[in-house]
Amino acid sequence: MVYTIEFRPAVLKSLKQFPKRDLVRIKKKIEALGQNLPEPNTTKMKGNNSFHKVRTGNYRIIYEIHDKRVIILIVKIGHRKDVYQGF
């Protein structure tokens, strides 16, 4: 099943600050998410929330899966040292 990728507006704004080399890698990983979703049990974040994470180099992509609407909502993208602040 192919999922549609949607972004929160703050995520699109934050993409401008990443180095170009890392941005290419992040975009490829996001495209791969839509085509072949990883096992949700392995990507689920700890705690009582609906967030999942995937690693790409030193960056993490945090997303939500909406199965009924067949959408992956990208919530946050950031460096591994500070992406989890606020969750």
- 68-80 tens-digit pLDDT: 999 999 999 999 9
Q: Write down the CATH number for the domain with range 4-79.
A: 3.30.2310.20
Q: Which residue has the higher pLDDT, 7 or 85?
A: 7
Residues whose CB is less than 8 angstroms from the CB of residue 74 and which lie 6 or more positions away in sequence, other chains included: 5, 6, 7, 8, 11, 30, 61, 62, 63
Q: What are the extents of the domains in the chain?
A: 4-79
User: What average pLDDT score do residues 12-29 get?
Assistant: 94
- 40-84 tens-digit pLDDT: 889 999 989 999 999 999 999 999 999 999 999 999 999 999 999
C-alpha distance across the termini of the chain, in Å: 29
82: Cα separation from own chain's centroid: 15
